[in-house]
């Protein structure tokens, strides 16, 4: 038995949206980015836009390796081909721990928001929050055992709900800015007078934003189950991440149109606080809808991690039992182990630390993938590549890297931008 290629363009987009849009944008990341941006609104929005561009470029590079090696856990298989077994084994465990912590963080976010509805105005007790997180985790572990087609159908419903929530927040914020009171615009008018953050704060803010894009690698990890991977993966990345980046920026603008920066960083759930201010009469119902739409983010993490187990087992770096499939063509033993380890992360960990560790681990693995991509191009230029990242995209990656290097050396954005623009002009000439 083998994994089946049953995911097309539509379900591929739905899986991408469902795995990417989660508790990060609705609960955690806006608060963290503003905090580490020293409450500077232009810097905060610039970081959201810049990280969206970086993640789009990263996704296009991942699309090249996923279409060159269209197998489950293509990123792990690619690292093994590029750097050898030792580096691949190290990255395997970084990715696996990253998935365990990410699944735990998502489950805690969902549980925290659901339990908060019953503790209005009071801190949420840890025991009921962690018990509900475990219940959500094990429920979606059972769902993953039913196969990827069942997961894709549930994720489609979840994706539509998430898009509806983000569109509601974005459109309402734009309307409030256009026809609202002067108070809504005053935060943006005085924004340039705010204090500039230092380099370490910008780095922390970038990690917070990257947490909202962690799930974007799902399509690479299920490349062995996608129909026509060359077309489906590439088009899904371009279409899905463009929508996500635009909605993330508009959602943050909407938050700032209704709430002050201090209110945002003091909120445990930014979206719920926003709803309470704009739609107070139906706040409970909308909060429940937000939580319901976020629940399936856990399922995406389980799906992605189980395919890494499956591929590593087939390549001899994990016991062969993890590549065994049940009647629904699901690696159920791998799914079970993931649930157990994620349960330990939920019981023993704190949410804020989980977010940082997940984003840091994902950034390290992505850096290795980019190095491996360039290395393999140099060593094996004739390797068949159905899709190849254009020279334009590669050049932009270099320009963007120069920008972030300059930002780390100086807190003055104008100096960093001028230096990067100068490098671009010289290269073009």
For the cut 70, the answer to whether the pLDDT of residue 33 exceeds it is yes
Residues 232-261, mean pLDDT to the nearest whole number = 87
Q: What does residue 123 show for φ and ψ, rounded to 5 degrees?
A: -65, 145
Give pLDDT, residue 350: 57
Task: State the DSSP string of 270-330.
Answer: HHHHHHHHH-GGGHHHHHHHHHHHHTTHHHHHHHHHHHHHHHHHHTTSS-GGGG---TTS-
SS3 annotation, 30-46: HHHHHHHCCCCHHHHHH
395, 386 contact by CB (below 8 A): no
Q: Is the pLDDT of residue 162 over 60?
A: yes
Pick the most confident of 101-110, 143-152, 345-354: 143-152
Which residues does 302 contact at the CB level (< 8 Å), separation at least 6?
Answer: 103, 140, 141, 144, 335, 338, 339, 342
pTM: 0.76
In this predicted model, what pLDDT tens digit does every residue of 301-338 receive, in sequence order?
A: 888 888 888 888 888 888 889 888 888 888 889 999 89
Q: Which of 8, 53, 11 is nearest to 244 (CA)?
A: 53
What pLDDT is attached to residue 427? 43
- Say if residue 47's pLDDT is above 60: yes
pLDDT, residue 392, reads 37
CA–CA distance, 369 with 371 (Å, rounded to integer)? 5
Cβ contact 19:301 at 8 Å: yes
Any residues with CB less than 8 A from the CB of 122 and at least 6 apart, and which?
none
Q: What is the mean pLDDT of the chain?
A: 77
The values of phi and psi at residue 4, to 5°, are -95, 145
The contacts of residue 422 (CB under 8 Å, 6+ apart) are none
- Which pLDDT score, from 0 to 100, does residue 421 have? 39
């Amino acid at each position: 038995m083998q994994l089946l290629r049953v995911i097309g363009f539509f379900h591929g987009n739905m899986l991408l949206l469902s795995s990417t849009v989660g508790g990060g944008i609705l609960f955690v990341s806006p608060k963290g980015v503003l905090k580490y941006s020293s409450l500077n609104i232009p810097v905060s929005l610039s970081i959201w836009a810049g990280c969206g561009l970086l993640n789009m470029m990263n996704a296009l590079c991942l699309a090249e390796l996923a279409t060159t090696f269209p197998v489950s856990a293509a990123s792990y298989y690619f690292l093994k081909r590029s750097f050898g077994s030792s580096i691949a084994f190290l990255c395997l465990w970084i990715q696996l721990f990253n998935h365990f912590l990410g699944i735990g963080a998502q489950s805690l976010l969902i549980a925290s928001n659901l339990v908060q509805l019953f503790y209005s105005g009071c801190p949420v007790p840890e025991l009921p929050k962690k018990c509900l997180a475990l219940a959500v985790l094990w429920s979606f572990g059972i769902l993953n055992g039913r196969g990827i087609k069942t997961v894709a159908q549930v994720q489609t419903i979840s994706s539509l709900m998430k898009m509806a929530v983000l569109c509601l927040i974005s459109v309402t914020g734009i309307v409030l800015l256009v026809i609202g009171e002067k108070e809504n615009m005053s935060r943006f008018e005085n924004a340039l007078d705010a204090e500039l953050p230092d380099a370490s704060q910008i780095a922390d803010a970038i990690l917070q934003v990257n947490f909202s894009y962690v799930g974007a690698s799902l399509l690479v990890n299920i490349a062995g189950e996608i129909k026509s991977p060359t077309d489906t993966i590439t088009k899904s990345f371009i279409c899905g991440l463009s929508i996500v980046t635009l909605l993330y920026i508009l959602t943050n603008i909407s938050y700032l149109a209704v709430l002050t920066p201090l209110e945002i960083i003091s909120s445990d759930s930014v979206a719920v606080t926003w709803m309470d201010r704009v739609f107070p009469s139906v706040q409970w119902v909308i909060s429940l809808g937000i939580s319901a739409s976020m629940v399936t983010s856990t399922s995406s993490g389980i799906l992605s991690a189980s395919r890494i187990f499956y591929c590593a087992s087939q390549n001899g770096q994990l016991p062969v039992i993890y590549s065994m499939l049940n009647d629904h063509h699901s690696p159920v033993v791998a799914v079970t182990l993931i649930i157990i380890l994620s349960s330990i992360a939920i019981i023993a960990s704190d949410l804020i630390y989980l977010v940082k560790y997940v984003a840091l681990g994902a950034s390290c693995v992505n850096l290795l993938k980019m190095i491996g991509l360039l290395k393999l191009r140099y060593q094996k230029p004739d390797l068949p590549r159905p899709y190849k990242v254009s020279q334009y995209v590669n050049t932009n990656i270099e320009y963007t890297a120069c920008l972030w290097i300059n930002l780390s050396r100086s807190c003055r954005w104008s100096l960093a931008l001028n230096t990067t623009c100068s490098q671009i002009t010289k290269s073009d000439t």
